[in-house]
Amino acid sequence: MANLLIDKVLNNNVLIAKHPSYEEVVLIGKGIGFNRKRGDYIETEEVEKLFVLKSEKEQQNYIKLLPFIDHDFLEVIISAINLIQERTHAELNEHIHVSLTDHLMFALTRATQGMEMRNPFLVETKALYRHEYEVAAEVVQHINEKTAITLPVGEIGFIALHIHSAITNKNLSDVNQHSQLVSRLVKMVEEQFEIEIDKEGIDYMRLVRHLRFAIDRVVKGEKVEEPEKIASLLKVEYPVCYNLSWKLIKVMQQSLKQKVFDAEAVYLTMHLQRLQNKFK
């Protein structure tokens, strides 16, 4: 990227500039607006850790947020997104600048007022998106150190979903829906088997992962080969697990509003049988 002509300085950390390929862009970086004015050129190489918002929609949404954000909070949030970029080595979807900035602004405000928002899907999020969860834990620690405001542990889960959404280019509402669906399916398994699965244990991790990959396959419309002989065998040998797997699949179909191929029931039955054996 070459020199960019500054069109407007919004604050110390945000500029509007002319870009050779994208026309107008919003530049975000800690302190990039300091001592700069309209008509100046900004050499992007000299600006370390710079984010460029190219999408017009994201630009407008981000600019609308700015008046409501405390200056110090904004610097911390920019450095937090920077940390996410460094740890994930991923091309983050631009939307994270709007969605996570908005989320963290409210989270920090709530924390200063002593309000805590419970996260009912924290355990599922940790199991589903382990790497994102670890990065989010680091982000929370970073924010706590920089602001001296202690964010509740539930925030790690919320931030992890934002990170996963930005890395995979998935809609945040879909990511949320899938986490809630997995949580619901796990509860159904526990109720049917009358067990409580250790949320830190390997069995929980395996079950959650199996369900997550099944959901991903359904969403992508990927067909799994069906071993027909095994299907009829499992139906006779393990009727409880086979019936439960179909109950879970019906819930998946209703929630995702997409067809689930029969073969998923076979693999799910085998998984449930192995799980049930451990608790006998």
Quote the tokens at residue 250: 């019906």
- pTM, whole model, 2 decimals? 0.89
- Nearest CA to 36 out of 58, 56, 17 is that of 17
3-state SS, residue 230:
helix
What local confidence, expressed as pLDDT, does residue 61 receive? 95
Separation between Cα atoms, residue 150 and residue 156, nearest integer Å? 12
Give the residue-averaged pLDDT of 230-248: 92
Hey, what amino acid is at 262?
D
Quote the tokens at residue 96: 């994270």
The single residue listed with the structure tokens 């997550």 is: 212
Quote the tokens at residue 39: 């008509």
- Name all domains of the chain by residue range, CATH numbers in brackets: 1-68 (2.30.24.10), 69-170 (1.10.1790.10), 174-278 (1.10.1790.10)
* pLDDT (tens digit per residue) in 102-122: 999 999 999 999 888 889 889
Quote the tokens at residue 63: 């600019």
3-state SS, residue 7:
strand
Separation between Cα atoms, residue 103 and residue 61, nearest integer Å? 13
* pLDDT (tens digit per residue) in 179-233: 999 999 999 999 999 999 999 899 999 999 999 999 999 999 988 777 677 888 8
